[in-house]
Amino acid sequence: MAKKKASAAGPKADQKRAAEARERAGQQHTSHERSTFLRGARIDPSPITGRETAADLIDNAFLAYNAARLREACSLFTQKMLEPDVTIGLTLTGALTPAGLGMAALIPLIESGFVDWIISTGANLYHDTHFGLGLSMHRGTPQQSDLVLREEGVVRIYDIFFDYDVLLSTDAFFRKVIQGPEFQRAMSSAEFHAKCGMYVHERERALGLKQKSLLSAAYRAGVPVYTSSPGDSSIGMNVAALALEGNRCTIDPNLDVNETASIVLDAKRRGGKSGVVICGGGSPKNFMLQTEPQIQEVLGIDEKGHDYFLQITDARPDTGGLSGATPAEAVSWGKIDPDRLPDAVVCYLDSTVALPLLTAYAHARHDKRPLKRLYDRREEMMNLLRQEFERAGREPLPAEETDEVLPRHR
């Protein structure tokens, strides 16, 4: 007769007596060893000695809860997403570059070929430029009086302090650059940022600086950098101010929507995959994920969704906001391929903690990849998008012929 497994749903007295009998006989309990739910590696870490690398620590000690999710994210990134045929898009929200993560993590990821294209808040790109111009930001304290700081001409981002003149100097740099003849037309934010990155790179060289600016590094690596809300930053504010003086520089969001969709479509049509790494949430997250609904729902092109999804967030899903929305929810929008849902990890962590660890792990466990230089292929990818749109029938049905109003994306 087969021996029944002990269970909280089973007969308690019998199970208790069986356990006591095993203990008296010196027998080890092994009845659950064949359970499908107990096939994961045993939790049996080695003692931490202080000699471990960051990657060793993640593999050995990050075994449960959000530590385990970060370990799973590191594994997904290095074992699957960094395969040669995967195109990786990265989104940035939160004040990451002021905290030095541009220099510490993002530039190394770009230069190693671990990031192929970026969608960022404008604020991250603006504050990134401070470092490329040789301007400084300093460690501070959130307990300092903001009234005192204002009187001293010091600006605070939580526990980061910097001189108010840093803002004025960066504004002056962008205003001077944007008045150049090559800026006097409509362009995508990727082209705008590449042109700005070229000038930041020139300033870095003049100052003898290296690997300080994300914009400069992306320009050199051919990594297109988009922003989902061009007017929502000091860079956009300066573009708007110059427009009052007759400057003709315009960042065209239509170009951004189609260019980003073309990057994803090109990755798939080349027989590859699309992976997304989302730091935070907000508008850049949606702008990254909406590439698939743009391809499928709006343009009518057959596609299934992104293949790999890695998110670092401190937002909850139950509030209904996009920042905390899970990859499972994204499946219903066509943003994530349902067949690839196991290849999705959400870490509920602060990006300033997770991103340096992910970067260290990737460099320890994976060789550099050749740069894809997607910025140089923008027109080629857009031609593919146009061709597939033509084959799909060009335009959706007129509004009066549809049965329902299309849902708003979030």
Q: How confident is the model at residue 336, as a pLDDT?
A: 60
Which of 18-27, 140-149, 167-176 has the least mean pLDDT?
18-27
How much is the pLDDT for 19?
A: 83
Would you state the pLDDT for residue 31? Answer: 57
Average pLDDT for residues 358-363, to the nearest whole number? 98
**pLDDT higher than threshold 50 for residue 403:** no
pLDDT band (50, 70, 90) for residue 20: confident
State the chain's mean pLDDT as an integer.
90
277 contacts 90 by C-beta, under 8 angstroms: yes
Sign of the dihedral through C-alpha 202, 203, 204, 206: positive
- CATH fold of 54-124+190-231+251-391: Deoxyhypusine Synthase (3.40.910)
Query: What are the sequence ranges of the domains in the chain?
Result: 54-124+190-231+251-391
| Separation CA 289–CA 296 (nearest Å) | 12
Average pLDDT on 48-61 reads 96
Q: What is the mean pLDDT of residues 97-106?
A: 97
Indicate if the alpha-carbon torsion angle 327, 333, 338, 340 is positive or negative: negative
Average pLDDT, integer, range 68-89: 97
Give the pairing of strands 250-251 and 225-227. unpaired
State mean pLDDT over 30-56.
85
Q: How far apart are the first and last CA of the chain?
A: 57
Q: Has residue 58 got a pLDDT over 80?
A: yes
| Other Cβ atoms closer than 10 A to 3 | 7
- pLDDT-derived band at 6 (thresholds 50, 70, 90) equals confident
Strand order in the sheet with 138-139: 138-139, 160-163, 154-157
Taking the C-alpha atoms of residue 149 and residue 162, their distance in angstroms, rounded to an integer, is 10
The pLDDT of 387-396, averaged and rounded, is 84
Q: How far apart are CA 142 and CA 156, in angstroms?
A: 8
Please tell me the distance from the alpha carbon of residue 350 to that of residue 211, in angstroms, as a whole number.
24
Is pLDDT larger for residue 328 or for residue 280?
280
So what's the pLDDT on residue 344?
A: 85
Residue 4 or residue 199, greater confidence: 199
- Give percent of the chain above pLDDT 70: 87
Using a cut of 0.95, tell me whether the model's pTM lies above it.
no
pLDDT value, residue 216? 98
User: 78: closest CA among 360, 372, 370?
Assistant: 360
Per-residue pLDDT reduced to its tens digit, 293-345: 999 999 999 998 899 999 999 866 666 655 666 665 655 655 666 665 567 89
207: left (phi over 0), alpha (psi -120 to 50) or beta: alpha
Instruction: State pLDDT tens for residues 233-256.
Output: 999 999 999 999 999 999 999 999
pLDDT of residue 8: 77
Q: Measure the CA–CA gap between 80 and 78, rounded to whole angstroms.
A: 6
Q: What is the pLDDT of residues 108-146, one digit of tens each?
A: 999 999 999 999 999 999 999 999 999 999 999 999 999
Given the residues 195, 273, 285, 335, the one annotated as active site: 335
Instruction: Name the CA radius of gyration of the chain, rounded.
Output: 25
Confidence (pLDDT) at 5: 74
pLDDT at 28: 78
Residue 2 in this model has a pLDDT that exceeds 60: no
- The reported pLDDT for the residue numbered 402 is 42
12 in catalytic set: no
